Structure 1
Amino acid sequence: MRTSWKIATAATVLAVMLSMSSGTDARIYATGQAMTTLDKEQDVTLKEQARLWAEQLANSPDGAFAEWKGAWVSATALGPGTHSWLVMMKRGQNVVGYMIVYAKDGGGYVLGEYGIGEYPPFSSAILKSAITRLGLSETSMKATRLYIHPLLAAWQISGGIAGNGSITENHYTDAYSGEQLPIDAGQWAAAAAQAANADKHGIKNAHASISSAGAMASFDPYGRLPWLTQSPYSIAADPLSILSDALRDNSELRYVSKSFKGKMTYVWSVTGYSEWSGGELFISLDSEENAPIRRYIPASLLQSLGSFYL
């Protein structure tokens, strides 16, 4: 089964009506331009931290984030109790990328993932498309953001009215693609509980810088199916060197992960990387050739939740 980017979430959640009211829109420019007045004191560190990381990405040596130069940041909480935020990069009103930032125990923040493209996670356009595919009416419907980590995120859609006029059960759709997940509330809760106490992977240094980066042309992750015929290809010995060699040789490296006890198989093309000071490595993934969003996820998390194939 083909799927786009998969991520899930849970714990405490934010219920948002389909009107998709975004609340306070916090702006800060990514290239040192003046910030607007901040509405809440506790937001100051978050927005400044987002700016610091955004500046690093905007000047990435591979040029992948060039559109972030001059962009501004819109920060939205992912839900009460989750201590995480969706930070969107915008030029004018156009989204050019995103970051997801977690609060760190004891103070500070963790950069959990980031990406480029016009459709960030929890996009209202993707949500509305998912509702249409489910055959639901928007009347009295509630959509709840659920986020645990980059490979476990979804919308929970409840209270929708089906074509026959009945109130539907909960539906779960992928936070990135809008694809329906074949699970119920109990299965989601089980997956969320299993992942809830895991360490948060990502950038923990407030002043981290990008030391190297690389990218290659996008390719179809389903052009070959090595996960069906070959053993996994380990990158554990030296992930950076292995990725650099793959990009240099235009090798088609793929990443495969299964969720919900094998009910979902997710396949991505490996299309690049960002290496940060301190050795933290993020790997970029495409869900399809020339995907509308390219996601960068910590290599340590990917290695713990799936396998690579060459």
Structure 2
Amino acid sequence: MNQIFHRPWLVIRRAAGVGVMCLLGLTTLSTTLQAEDVLDLQAATTELSYQLTTAKSDASHASDKFAPAVVQQFALQQVKALGSLQKMDQGWNQAQLDFTPLGPGTHSWLVNAHIDGISVGYMIITANRTGNLQLSEYGQGEHNPYDLSLLLQSLQRHHLNLEELSHAEDIQLRYASPLLAYWKVEQSGAGTIYIDATNGDTLPNGAVKAMERESRVEHTRPPSPTLSLSVQLQSRTEEVPKIPAFSADPIYVQPDFDPADNLLWITSEAVPVTSLQPLIQQWKNHQAVVFSADERNVLYGGPLPVTGYQIWRMDDGSEQMEYVAIGGHSSVKRFVPIDTLMNDGHFYAFKP
């Protein structure tokens, strides 16, 4: 049996994320929009969507105005892999792709897939410090990061003038390594506000700026071997290199839950995870799993439920990448590399 009060400093650190999550949930509840506010929000969303214009790129016509041709070709390989799963296709093969660069110096692009305005899913493609492209995260369905309704609700909580802020230069889409998707909102004559693009929560300025610095340093470090689905980014030539082919296994899904419903996991030992197999074993034992990044939970919107996985494979059998699903209860469900999570936090049995 685990000791209830072992390593109290770590327990407090894990609990801090839960406390912030609960507090923010209550704040959101207390500011629930009335009927007339909903109409105003819808009108503001429509207006802002015109201002924050994304690149419309037909899948059959590459354009490097908003994303290099090799990035678009890499995205099409992801679409092909996802579309090959008939039960999970959801229209990927028929979708139009919108490419949006995620801020200067981030080497990342948001790819929204939709059919007649209805979202199919999203991907975030990143060039790592070796210059290779990798699928940093992705999701299925209509709930995607950078949802304008989340942004506008957050701005209303800050009592900001939406008309003054409804310009692309004032509201910027950003992405910081390893997995922070956020908006940077610049106010004339006032401080900058950072907003989590997966749940609409306000992020602490100091933590975001520190992560931005860390992300920039990451791109200057000597390269180290990493497991990724990658292709060299050729930014100075129109020639598109041959992109390796790969496929995706069917998605394994677990029920969603709220980590704050049972806090016993905070006092437990982490599940030793060096690959996907220990998590699979937890699920075979009918045990839900929580991911916690400890003191960095505020940058994940966590702690978060782990609710599934999907394995991607190179067609030549040379490599594979394991993705796990995090979020889904109070934030967007995101499929992210398990290697990233292992480097940034720990996994816990929900009911130890």
The TM-score range, normalised by the shorter chain, is 0.7 to 0.9
Q: Which residue of 2 aligns with 1:2?
A: 21
Is 1:256 paired with 2:287? no
Are the equivalent residues in 2 in contact too, given 1:143–1:155 (CA < 8 A)? yes
Is 1:22 paired with 2:53? yes
Is 1:204 paired with 2:230? yes
TM-score (norm 1): 0.78
Q: Please tell me the root mean square deviation across aligned C-alpha atoms, in Å.
A: 3.1
Partners of 1:305 and 1:230 lie apart in 2 by: 18
Are the equivalent residues in 1 in contact too, given 2:307–2:327 (CA < 8 A)? yes
Are the equivalent residues in 2 in contact too, given 1:247–1:271 (CA < 8 A)? no
Q: 1:253 to 1:37 in 2, by over 3 A?
A: closer
Partners of 2:94 and 2:320 lie apart in 1 by: 28
| Superposed displacement of residue 105, structure 1 | 5.9
Q: What whole-Å deviation, never above 9, does each CA across 1:166-218 have from its counterpart, x for those lacking one? A: x542211101111112x23x442222222433378743264222246422222
Partners of 1:42 and 1:137 lie apart in 2 by: 31
Are the equivalent residues in 1 in contact too, given 2:121–2:142 (CA < 8 A)? yes
Are the equivalent residues in 1 in contact too, given 2:306–2:325 (CA < 8 A)? yes
The farther-off stretch of 269-278 and 133-142 is 133-142
Q: What whole-Å deviation, never above 9, does each CA across 1:57-96 have from its counterpart, x for those lacking one? A: 23348x4453424222111111233221100111210112
| Superposed displacement of residue 265, structure 1 | 6.7
Is 1:172 paired with 2:198? no
Partners of 1:65 and 1:220 lie apart in 2 by: 28
Are the equivalent residues in 1 in contact too, given 2:179–2:300 (CA < 8 A)? no
1:2 corresponds to which letter in structure 2?
A: M
How many residues are paired up? 279
Q: 1:234 to 1:212 in 2, by over 3 A?
A: farther
Q: 1:243 to 1:190 in 2, by over 3 A?
A: same
Q: Which residue of 2 aligns with 1:301?
A: 340
| Superposed displacement of residue 47, structure 1 | 1.8
Q: 1:53 to 1:37 in 2, by over 3 A?
A: closer
TM-score (norm 2): 0.69
Q: Which residue of 2 aligns with 1:56?
A: 81
The structure whose Rg is larger is 2
| Superposed displacement of residue 156, structure 1 | 1.8
Q: Percent identity among equivalent residues? A: 24
Q: Which residue of 2 aligns with 1:125?
A: 149
Paired residues for 1:109-258 under 5 Å = 109-141=133-165, 142-159=170-187, 168-181=190-203, 183-184=204-205, 186-198=206-218, 202-204=228-230, 206-211=244-249, 213-236=251-274, 239-258=275-294
1:219 corresponds to which letter in structure 2?
A: F
Partners of 1:65 and 1:250 lie apart in 2 by: 27
Q: Which residue of 1 aligns with 2:102?
A: 78
Q: Which has the higher helix share?
A: 2
Structure 1 gap segments, 5+ residues each = 5-16, 29-34, 161-166
Partners of 2:179 and 2:130 lie apart in 1 by: 25
| Superposed displacement of residue 251, structure 1 | 1.8
Q: What whole-Å deviation, never above 9, does each CA across 1:28-58 have from its counterpart, x for those lacking one? A: 1xxxxxx146465973322222111112123
1:86 corresponds to which letter in structure 2?
A: L
Q: 1:22 to 1:223 in 2, by over 3 A?
A: same
| Superposed displacement of residue 144, structure 1 | 2.1
Partners of 1:117 and 1:125 lie apart in 2 by: 16
Q: 1:304 to 1:106 in 2, by over 3 A?
A: closer
